[in-house]
A and B are shown apart, each in its own frame.
Chain A
Amino acid sequence: MKIETLTDGRRTILKLDGRLDVTWAEHVLNSALELLRGGRHELRMDASGLQYLSSAGIRVLIRIRREVSAVQGSFAIVNPSPFVENALRMSGLGELLECDTPEQDAPDTGTGDVAGAPCSGSAVQKGRGDIDVAGIQVDVHPLGAGAMLRVQATARWRPWTPVQDTDVVNLPFPRPVFGLGIGAAGVDAGDSCSRFGEFAALAGCLSWLPAGGGDTPDYLVEAERFTPSIFAIQGLVAEGAFSHLLRFRPVDKTGLLPLSSLFGQALEVTGADSVAMVCIAEIEGLVGAALSRSPGLMTTADSPGGFPQIRDWMAFCGERVHARHSALLVAFVSRRPDAAVAPYLVPLSSTPGLFAHTHAVVFPFRPLPEGVIDLEPHVRMFFETVEPVDLLHLIEDDRPAVGLGQSTFLRGACWCAPFSAGKGGAL
């Protein structure tokens, strides 16, 4: 099997030569996904050289079509041999053949990659898009003028004091609410106490890493009358509307967006001192840590903050992790944190004067459509099609020489808004 990639305007043509059977299925799939990853959403498969198509190959074509339609791209097969055409029609996939899909010339599906194009009507803050970060193009899409978030610290345990019963708060996360903290979902507070770990919640989806339990995060997704909730000992919760959507992507091979730059962009765009955000992004590398043992198990004799005891309580990533995966981020950033949230934001060593708290839920990579997109369906798509593989509290590793630096991203979407801190207590 030989795969050749040709570019024809917005379209990318994959020219296949050989047999598409079980041996080559994975390779073809990965080649297509690689193109999607690179932002090529209009795919054509030139099947003129395709001698054979097995059912494993057909499954791959279906999978490609699903991934492409998830990003509102298009996918079709051109120049099929009679054998391939017949095989497709027999398996009810006739519509994959280009002749059956009337060509739509107008770029009205899957918005183009002309920056700012979708922002008709609102004041596009042009120029701001290509500033600041070398190699990264940032497009700003205002969503609602003056939109504001209300943020509360609803559970207020801080390391490392033994957890009291009164520290545990049951936090619901209906769709409009997002947040992060430490907790565990379970039958009741007592049941959860041995599993408290990092959590992040957004768009009616809640994911947490049970400390000391498995190695993978667990999750809950909102359904008809079910609202995910978690027994939290620490929680920053935001509610309200987003004011801006930032879309960022690399314009050259070196383009990388460090998390602190994303924070800077968000602060600048909103013109506020404090911003809360959620983000879906392709990871270049994450640096973080997570609880490996529930603070609920702490006794007064333990001092998890010190070395080497901390090894029993916390896990550090040890290297830059999860490259080429997708992350769902929940972050709170401030230049001047209000007293109500200040204890839960830490100074960034890379950017003096900035305080933040960020959790990342890591998933296998999924592409995102271009332009203005809605948060909810895309977040849900992650939970419904793939499962979270990790959850980290992001940190900046500023050790001299061996430090891992901070988390960086390649492309993604970031919804943000200024926030004001409300008084603590139940929402």
Chain B
Amino acid sequence: MLTSTAGTGGKSMMLEIRGLRKTFFPDTPNEVRALQGIDLDLSEGCFAAIIGTNGSGKSTLLNAVAGSFLPDQGTVRIDGVEITRWEEYRRAQYVGRVFQNPFAGTAAGMTIAENIGLAMRRGLSRGLRPALPRQVRDAMADRVRTLGMGLENRLDNPIGTLSGGQRQALTLLMATWLKPRLLLLDEHTAALDPKSAAQVAALTREIIEREHLTALMVTHSMQQAVQLPNRIIMMHQGRIVRQYSESEMARVRVPELLAAFDRIRRREQLDPAVSDILGRQYL
């Protein structure tokens, strides 16, 4: 009853975004056109990274998919279901999320087990049964053990006592505890020290591959962008300006991405005055 899966068979799109637009503070001097017509398709099992300059609208795009606000125009479909007007909490049945801030994804004062208990019923009804009966806790410990961080012995510690890296790893585990149709990662390693960041990045890749997840990851790390995903989406000023397909990913290296950014920057520099110079001096 929850889902009417698009019974198209064959290659259906897990995420379909059409003509998505969002303007903050419209018709004021502070107007920000954060999304200016985004079209994006992710097929099932596709892991795409979004890169782009600061303020290019990456987080806004992710938030629009997650439902933090409603877009001005356009549609969002997940697995064939149109969710454009759904409330954020309702989308959670399809979407797992990890945030940039390690504090954002967990309830600090509650124990690890309680946090995971919440994630175990993501998008499901929550009744008056005890959240953590014995057998659930055992299953929980088994899965937490796969993180290799020894957290299975600390299930009853408040999650706030963990390091940022540990919290982010747990948040990732929680977001994928029930297989989400779409996993959204917003710079989820950015706030970590290099070692933890690498650890969480490796874990991200491992989980996504093992569970064959469809994922959208915002990152500022070019290294991550060329190593982890099988697609890169480059954004600038609310638009997708370049995409690297799966076949291109085999050769894309960091310098090429940097050069592509450079070209985008140069494009900005070409103002009417320069246009005028080129009119006189270009053949």
Instruction: Please determine if A and B sit in direct contact within the complex, based on CB atoms under 8 angstroms apart.
Output: yes
* Interface set of A (CB-CB < 8 Å, partner B): 158-159, 214-216, 234, 289, 292, 305-308, 310-311, 314-319, 343-344, 346-347, 349, 357, 393, 395-399, 402
For the complex formed, measure the closest distance between the CB of A222 and the CB atoms of chain B, giving whole angstroms. 26
Residue of B nearest to A314 (CB): B278
Q: Please determine whether B267 and A315 come into contact, CB atoms closer than 8 angstroms.
A: yes
Q: A398-B277, A399-B273, A399-B277 are in contact. Are A314 and B282 (CB under 8 A)?
A: yes
For the complex formed, measure the closest distance between the CB of B97 and the CB atoms of chain A, giving whole angstroms. 34
- The one of B256, B269, B278, B283 in contact with A357, judged by C-beta atoms closer than 8 angstroms, is B283
Q: In this assembly, does B143 line the interface, its C-beta being within 8 Å of a C-beta of chain A?
A: no
Q: In this assembly, does B139 line the interface, its C-beta being within 8 Å of a C-beta of chain A?
A: no
Q: Please determine whether A310 and B278 come into contact, CB atoms closer than 8 angstroms.
A: yes
For the complex formed, measure the closest distance between the CB of B149 and the CB atoms of chain A, giving whole angstroms. 32
Q: Please determine whether A316 and B283 come into contact, CB atoms closer than 8 angstroms.
A: no
Of B43-51, B165-173, B219-227, B258-266, the one with at least 4 CB within 8 A of chain A? B258-266
Q: In this assembly, does B133 line the interface, its C-beta being within 8 Å of a C-beta of chain A?
A: no
**Chain A residues within 8 Å of B280, by CB:** 346-347, 349
Q: In this assembly, does B250 line the interface, its C-beta being within 8 Å of a C-beta of chain A?
A: no
**Chain A residues within 8 Å of B283, by CB:** 158-159, 234, 343-344, 346, 357, 393
For the complex formed, measure the closest distance between the CB of B36 and the CB atoms of chain A, giving whole angstroms. 14
Q: Please determine whether A316 and B281 come into contact, CB atoms closer than 8 angstroms.
A: no
Q: Please determine whether B275 and A310 come into contact, CB atoms closer than 8 angstroms.
A: yes
Residue of B nearest to A316 (CB): B270
- The 17 listed contacts between A and B (C-beta, < 8 Å) are A215-B256, A292-B267, A305-B279, A310-B270, A310-B275, A314-B282, A315-B263, A315-B266, A315-B270, A318-B266, A318-B269, A344-B283, A346-B282, A346-B283, A395-B281, A397-B277, A399-B273
Highest count of chain B CB atoms <10 Å: which of A234, A307, A402 = A307
Q: Please determine whether B279 and A399 come into contact, CB atoms closer than 8 angstroms.
A: no
For the complex formed, measure the closest distance between the CB of B264 and the CB atoms of chain A, giving whole angstroms. 10
Q: Please count how many residues in chain B sit with their CB below 8 Å of the partner chain's CB atoms.
A: 23
Q: Please determine whether B279 and A316 come into contact, CB atoms closer than 8 angstroms.
A: no
* Interface set of B (CB-CB < 8 Å, partner A): 256, 259-260, 262-263, 265-275, 277-283
Residue of A nearest to B283 (CB): A344
Residue of A nearest to B273 (CB): A399
In whole angstroms, how far apart are the Cα atoms of A319 and B274 in the complex? 12
**Chain A residues within 8 Å of B266, by CB:** 315-318
In whole angstroms, how far apart are the Cα atoms of A317 and B274 in the complex? 10
Highest count of chain B CB atoms <10 Å: which of A289, A315, A318, A395 = A318
For the complex formed, measure the closest distance between the CB of B114 and the CB atoms of chain A, giving whole angstroms. 48
For the complex formed, measure the closest distance between the CB of A313 and the CB atoms of chain B, giving whole angstroms. 10
**Chain A residues within 8 Å of B268, by CB:** 318
**Chain B residues within 8 Å of A316, by CB:** 266, 269-270, 274, 278
- The one of A216, A310, A396 in contact with B281, judged by C-beta atoms closer than 8 angstroms, is A396
For the complex formed, measure the closest distance between the CB of B272 and the CB atoms of chain A, giving whole angstroms. 5
Q: Please determine whether B263 and A159 come into contact, CB atoms closer than 8 angstroms.
A: no
For the complex formed, measure the closest distance between the CB of A204 and the CB atoms of chain B, giving whole angstroms. 25
In whole angstroms, how far apart are the Cα atoms of A412 and B274 in the complex? 29
Q: A215-B259, A317-B266, A395-B277 are in contact. Are A307 and B272 (CB under 8 A)?
A: yes
In whole angstroms, how far apart are the Cα atoms of A74 and B266 in the complex? 42
**Chain B residues within 8 Å of A349, by CB:** 280-281
Q: Please determine whether B275 and A307 come into contact, CB atoms closer than 8 angstroms.
A: yes
Extra contacts, 6 of them, besides A292-B263, A316-B269, A398-B277 (Cβ < 8 A), are A289-B278, A305-B279, A307-B272, A310-B270, A315-B270, A318-B270
Q: Please determine whether B275 and A306 come into contact, CB atoms closer than 8 angstroms.
A: yes
In whole angstroms, how far apart are the Cα atoms of A242 and B157 in the complex? 82
In whole angstroms, how far apart are the Cα atoms of A406 and B269 in the complex? 16
Residue of A nearest to B264 (CB): A315
For the complex formed, measure the closest distance between the CB of B282 and the CB atoms of chain A, giving whole angstroms. 6
In whole angstroms, how far apart are the Cα atoms of A72 and B283 in the complex? 40
**Chain A residues within 8 Å of B270, by CB:** 307, 310-311, 314-316, 318
In whole angstroms, how far apart are the Cα atoms of A319 and B281 in the complex? 17
**Chain B residues within 8 Å of A158, by CB:** 283
**Chain B residues within 8 Å of A357, by CB:** 283
Q: Please determine whether B277 and A393 come into contact, CB atoms closer than 8 angstroms.
A: no
**Chain A residues within 8 Å of B273, by CB:** 399, 402
Residue of A nearest to B257 (CB): A215
**Chain B residues within 8 Å of A306, by CB:** 275
Residue of A nearest to B275 (CB): A307
In whole angstroms, how far apart are the Cα atoms of A397 and B274 in the complex? 8
For the complex formed, measure the closest distance between the CB of A401 and the CB atoms of chain B, giving whole angstroms. 10
In whole angstroms, how far apart are the Cα atoms of A398 and B282 in the complex? 14
For the complex formed, measure the closest distance between the CB of A333 and the CB atoms of chain B, giving whole angstroms. 14
Q: A310-B275, A357-B283 are in contact. Are A216 and B269 (CB under 8 A)?
A: no
Q: Please determine whether A216 and B259 come into contact, CB atoms closer than 8 angstroms.
A: yes
In whole angstroms, how far apart are the Cα atoms of A315 and B260 in the complex? 12
Q: Please determine whether A289 and B282 come into contact, CB atoms closer than 8 angstroms.
A: yes
**Chain A residues within 8 Å of B260, by CB:** 215
**Chain A residues within 8 Å of B256, by CB:** 214-215
In whole angstroms, how far apart are the Cα atoms of A349 and B265 in the complex? 26
For the complex formed, measure the closest distance between the CB of A287 and the CB atoms of chain B, giving whole angstroms. 10
For the complex formed, measure the closest distance between the CB of B222 and the CB atoms of chain A, giving whole angstroms. 14
